[in-house]
A and B are shown apart, each in its own frame.
Chain A
């Protein structure tokens, strides 16, 4: 993100100093966020205001967390020109392992989660081994994995394994403790965190300006920075308001799921944009031959990517199991498709080399809002699926057509 932002002011001198010009230069970046806002507004109207009620907003997050978690890993895998079809099956299998440990072996819920994550890592190593060191394309390896882990999940789970641990079930249901109590109808902690986020955003924008200026480049127009900060303040402020109002008599505020998501998004975005490994991922995806001849160990990059994907699949498995309170062989069905679709809606290139985690997250939210909105309206799930398919097609078509115009 920082790279593209820094580049914007330095492009066409004619457009440099106008807010509109800056917007136009970054249209792709803002486009998908704009699309999300429009979709939210449309469903807000169609559902007569139900979509953005505090508690349905929280359940939007809790219900779609798994897509976001999987999309984080999937976008990295796709950037490196692979694909992972097995994540849904891994969710079912790891979820099954976790539930059986807790219910049949009497393992403590925290230990069960730990084991689940380790199982995810091992599965990642398994798939990474075949892709990176044997050279089987990711599509085939994970197609096999999709069958293998779905099969294993059915074998170990049978019909279903209900989870009884209230702590474990709370992960996808509960909120952070209300350390600061209620402030009138609002949760105090949420308000403080929300304000901190706004301050952090404003500070980072201003700091970027000084950094760009120090590097001898022309920063974006001040008006643009102000507009960005104002828009972000409104958005974060609104979300904070919703969250602070959410919950019931016992608890409310920030859902635990949101914290898990925020940590994952932050950490993985950091990995992809600021670390050597992240650079390697883009280098391998953009031109594998050039990466090899630049001394990059592409096999290790491929292997590591699948290990990350395995880990994130396990995290998603824990979240899904907690939400559904029961492991079934059918859990995670078609999750891989949701994750892949999110990446492409979020601007990831089908041919690899291009994509961002924030993009994939917004893509996942687009899908999630459509899901939630239509289900509030009582639309049949078969129709929901059709609409989601059309949205995916439309989003990628817009992306391709806009590129063609430029070229």
Chain B
């Protein structure tokens, strides 16, 4: 690994957008055949740097030099960089859902003779590539019919079809569960060891970086602030890494919080059962029994596809599923929640998993987004009360430290962490008793995560019942008072704070359905 053969050097890269300096002198040096991690807070410039490298921002729009494989690069388009063997896989996958796996692999690179596609060739080559990435799927399967984890593998197969030398992965595991993540990282490692593919990986998950990276470059505020090497003898010091990323030391990733004595039972589900919306035979949530009390923070831990989000959404006004049965009790009284408005009226709030797709209207400003679930409260006879709205939203801008010029700024211009705070503000303004937060810190940086945790603690201290759904076990362990483990739609365990260990929880999350049911 530690050969001194450098495949890529980026020297003093400066990139500005109008008056804003996105990159102000980044240096990056990547050795051939290593897995190189780039770490930094959101907005530090990681993605911008990768866009410079791959030619999204053409040569001339930035200053500094890029040397790849011994020659200087002047990429004008992504095609140019791909021709040299640099392939970037973005966070938002670039796959066409209605096309097959094979078609997607060869998009823009169709296996054709004289403009006519050779389908046999396409399928055969796709099959080979799928074997290389360890994905036993029929190449004719449509992308929309396979999970995100497998889609990620298709992206890598697509990269391999282009004779990749340098593979860039931007947050590859952000949407994956632990199992799929492990498989993906294993594949990256395998590509390095068996085929000498160099990888650059951008990730917020420090455990993952500690596990896979050979070398780390840390970027802060558009400049390189340090490099760290990892060897079996000197494993990664995560505290040191975090310190470099945020420029300050976060002694603890999670704020100290004294658990509240649980108060009145605010929410109870009895035998909650939900079927798949289309495939109505399939049981997604199977006789779930859970409860939450006032002042409590309860986690729902489960692998992707375990039915956590589906459980939450089906309770929240039947927003998911079919043939829903079971009982919901709010403050001891059974309630019917046939639609979202009824759920809100009953005191529920659900902050969605994907804030850009389900949580926010990116075309509207902070004020309009934050009040969206509380319009009835902020109006009389259907006419908006602008002053009440202004005062209320302004209060949460200050309380939640939403960084913005004013609440009339479009939410589309905010960073992920601030967008998430707007989503939280929206639901806190609706003044619920029970908040369900689905992946509240996905894709946001360490500093903003800490602030979100503080908000969650404040909510619990104010007597709300909080349910947190997360794919990151350390996060749940760090903030929850109690954790339910969910596996294949079944609630398999109810673990108290003193039973929190990753190993124990993981057991509950991976329990087989038959075993759990008996």
Q: Do A294 and B384 touch across chains, with their CB atoms under 8 A apart?
A: no
Instruction: From B371, B384, B394, B405, give the contact of A275 (CB < 8 A).
Output: B384
Would A295 and B384 be within 8 Å (CB), given that A7-B406, A276-B376 are in contact? no
CB of A289 within 8 Å of the partner chain: yes
Instruction: From A4, A217, A286, A297, give the contact of B361 (CB < 8 A).
Output: A286
How far does the alpha carbon of A279 sit from the alpha carbon of B385 in the complex, in Å?
12
Most buried by B among A216, A287, A292: A287
Q: Do B372 and A276 touch across chains, with their CB atoms under 8 A apart?
A: no
Tell me the A residues contacting B by CB distance below 8 Å.
2-4, 6-7, 10-11, 215-217, 274-280, 282-283, 285-287, 289-297, 349, 353-354
Q: Do A282 and B368 touch across chains, with their CB atoms under 8 A apart?
A: yes
Instruction: From B341, B368, B386, B406, give the contact of A297 (CB < 8 A).
Output: B341
* CB 8 Å contact bits of B345-380 with A (1 = contact, 0 = none): 000001010000111111111011001110110010
How far does the alpha carbon of A394 sit from the alpha carbon of B91 in the complex, in Å?
35
Distance (whole angstroms) from the CB of A7 to the closest CB of chain B:
3
Q: Do A274 and B364 touch across chains, with their CB atoms under 8 A apart?
A: no
How far does the alpha carbon of A216 sit from the alpha carbon of B395 in the complex, in Å?
12
Q: Do A7 and B368 touch across chains, with their CB atoms under 8 A apart?
A: no
CB of B464 within 8 Å of the partner chain: no
Interface residues of B in 492-511 (CB under 8 A from A): none
CB of B317 within 8 Å of the partner chain: yes
CB of B114 within 8 Å of the partner chain: no
Q: Do B364 and A283 touch across chains, with their CB atoms under 8 A apart?
A: yes
Give chain A residues whose Cβ lies under 8 Å from the Cβ of B376: 276
Q: Do A3 and B361 touch across chains, with their CB atoms under 8 A apart?
A: no
Q: Do B361 and A287 touch across chains, with their CB atoms under 8 A apart?
A: yes
Instruction: From A279, A292, A293, A353, give the contact of B375 (CB < 8 A).
Output: A279
How far does the alpha carbon of A244 sit from the alpha carbon of B444 in the complex, in Å?
62
Q: Do A279 and B372 touch across chains, with their CB atoms under 8 A apart?
A: yes
How far does the alpha carbon of A219 sit from the alpha carbon of B408 in the complex, in Å?
13
CB of B426 within 8 Å of the partner chain: yes
CB of B49 within 8 Å of the partner chain: no
Would A294 and B365 be within 8 Å (CB), given that A275-B383, A276-B384 are in contact? no
Distance (whole angstroms) from the CB of B121 to the closest CB of chain A:
38
Q: Do A7 and B317 touch across chains, with their CB atoms under 8 A apart?
A: no
Would A276 and B379 be within 8 Å (CB), given that A10-B408, A286-B361, A295-B341 are in contact? yes
- Chain B contact residue count (CB 8 A cutoff): 38
CB of B390 within 8 Å of the partner chain: yes
Q: Do A217 and B364 touch across chains, with their CB atoms under 8 A apart?
A: no
Told that A279-B368, A295-B343 touch, could you supply 13 new A-B pairs with CB distance under 8 A?
A3-B367, A4-B408, A7-B409, A10-B405, A11-B405, A274-B386, A276-B383, A282-B368, A283-B368, A283-B372, A295-B341, A353-B363, A353-B364
Give chain A residues whose Cβ lies under 8 Å from the Cβ of B362: 286-287
Chain A: CB-nearest residue to B340: A295
CB of B344 within 8 Å of the partner chain: yes
Instruction: From B340, B379, B383, B386, give the contact of A293 (CB < 8 A).
Output: B340
Give chain A residues whose Cβ lies under 8 Å from the Cβ of B375: 276, 279-280
Q: List 25 interface pairs A-B (beta carbons < 8 Å), by A numbering.
A: A7-B365, A10-B408, A215-B390, A216-B394, A274-B383, A275-B379, A276-B376, A276-B383, A277-B382, A278-B384, A282-B361, A282-B363, A282-B364, A283-B372, A287-B361, A289-B358, A290-B352, A290-B372, A291-B372, A293-B350, A294-B426, A295-B339, A295-B340, A296-B372, A353-B364
CB of B319 within 8 Å of the partner chain: yes
Q: Do B390 and A290 touch across chains, with their CB atoms under 8 A apart?
A: no
Instruction: From B352, B359, B384, B409, give the contact of A279 (CB < 8 A).
Output: B384
How far does the alpha carbon of A2 sit from the alpha carbon of B368 in the complex, in Å?
13
Give chain B residues whose Cβ lies under 8 Å from the Cβ of A7: 365, 406, 408-409
Give chain A residues whose Cβ lies under 8 Å from the Cβ of B386: 2, 274
Tell me the B residues contacting A by CB distance below 8 Å.
316-317, 319, 339-341, 343-344, 350, 352, 357-365, 367-368, 371-373, 375-376, 379, 382-384, 386, 390, 394, 405-406, 408-409, 426
Give chain A residues whose Cβ lies under 8 Å from the Cβ of B344: 295
The 5 nearest A-B residue pairs measured at CB: A286-B361, A7-B408, A10-B406, A353-B363, A286-B363
Q: Do B365 and A275 touch across chains, with their CB atoms under 8 A apart?
A: no
Chain A: CB-nearest residue to B360: A290
Distance (whole angstroms) from the CB of B176 to the closest CB of chain A:
22
Distance (whole angstroms) from the CB of B246 to the closest CB of chain A:
26
Distance (whole angstroms) from the CB of B445 to the closest CB of chain A:
23
Distance (whole angstroms) from the CB of A286 to the closest CB of chain B:
3
How far does the alpha carbon of A10 sit from the alpha carbon of B394 in the complex, in Å?
14
Q: Do B340 and A292 touch across chains, with their CB atoms under 8 A apart?
A: yes
Q: Do B382 and A276 touch across chains, with their CB atoms under 8 A apart?
A: yes
Chain A: CB-nearest residue to B354: A289
Chain B: CB-nearest residue to A282: B364
Give chain B residues whose Cβ lies under 8 Å from the Cβ of A354: 363
How far does the alpha carbon of A84 sit from the alpha carbon of B405 in the complex, in Å?
38
Give chain B residues whose Cβ lies under 8 Å from the Cβ of A275: 379, 382-384
How far does the alpha carbon of A286 sit from the alpha carbon of B350 in the complex, in Å?
19
Most buried by A among B350, B358, B376: B358
Chain B: CB-nearest residue to A79: B363
How far does the alpha carbon of A237 sit from the alpha carbon of B408 in the complex, in Å?
33
Would A295 and B317 be within 8 Å (CB), given that A10-B406, A11-B405, A283-B364 are in contact? yes
How far does the alpha carbon of A280 sit from the alpha carbon of B379 in the complex, in Å?
13
How far does the alpha carbon of A280 sit from the alpha carbon of B384 in the complex, in Å?
11
Would A294 and B406 be within 8 Å (CB), given that A279-B368, A287-B362, A289-B358 are in contact? no
How far does the alpha carbon of A41 sit from the alpha carbon of B340 in the complex, in Å?
53
Would A290 and B361 be within 8 Å (CB), given that A276-B376, A276-B382, A279-B372 are in contact? yes
Q: Do B382 and A3 touch across chains, with their CB atoms under 8 A apart?
A: no
Q: Do B408 and A292 touch across chains, with their CB atoms under 8 A apart?
A: no
Most buried by B among A11, A290, A296: A290
Give chain B residues whose Cβ lies under 8 Å from the Cβ of A283: 361, 364, 368, 372
Give chain B residues whose Cβ lies under 8 Å from the Cβ of A2: 386
Q: Do A292 and B384 touch across chains, with their CB atoms under 8 A apart?
A: no
Chain A: CB-nearest residue to B426: A294
Distance (whole angstroms) from the CB of A21 to the closest CB of chain B:
13
Give chain A residues whose Cβ lies under 8 Å from the Cβ of B382: 275-277
How far does the alpha carbon of A289 sit from the alpha carbon of B341 in the complex, in Å?
14
Q: Do A3 and B408 touch across chains, with their CB atoms under 8 A apart?
A: yes
Instruction: From B319, B361, B372, B390, give the contact of A353 (CB < 8 A).
Output: B361
Q: Do A291 and B352 touch across chains, with their CB atoms under 8 A apart?
A: no
How far does the alpha carbon of A374 sit from the alpha carbon of B408 in the complex, in Å?
42
Distance (whole angstroms) from the CB of B360 to the closest CB of chain A:
6
Distance (whole angstroms) from the CB of A255 to the closest CB of chain B:
30
How far does the alpha carbon of A287 sit from the alpha carbon of B361 in the complex, in Å?
5
Give chain B residues whose Cβ lies under 8 Å from the Cβ of A289: 357-358
Give chain A residues whose Cβ lies under 8 Å from the Cβ of B319: 292-293
How far does the alpha carbon of A368 sit from the alpha carbon of B350 in the complex, in Å?
48
Q: Do A293 and B408 touch across chains, with their CB atoms under 8 A apart?
A: no
Chain B: CB-nearest residue to A217: B406
Q: Do B384 and A293 touch across chains, with their CB atoms under 8 A apart?
A: no
Give chain B residues whose Cβ lies under 8 Å from the Cβ of A4: 408
How far does the alpha carbon of A289 sit from the alpha carbon of B319 in the complex, in Å?
10
How far does the alpha carbon of A217 sit from the alpha carbon of B390 in the complex, in Å?
12
How far does the alpha carbon of A346 sit from the alpha carbon of B155 in the complex, in Å?
41
How far does the alpha carbon of A277 sit from the alpha carbon of B341 in the complex, in Å?
15
Chain A: CB-nearest residue to B361: A286
How far does the alpha carbon of A310 sit from the alpha carbon of B197 in the complex, in Å?
62
Chain B: CB-nearest residue to A10: B406
Give chain A residues whose Cβ lies under 8 Å from the Cβ of B371: 279
Instruction: From A3, A277, A290, A353, give the contact of B359 (CB < 8 A).
Output: A290
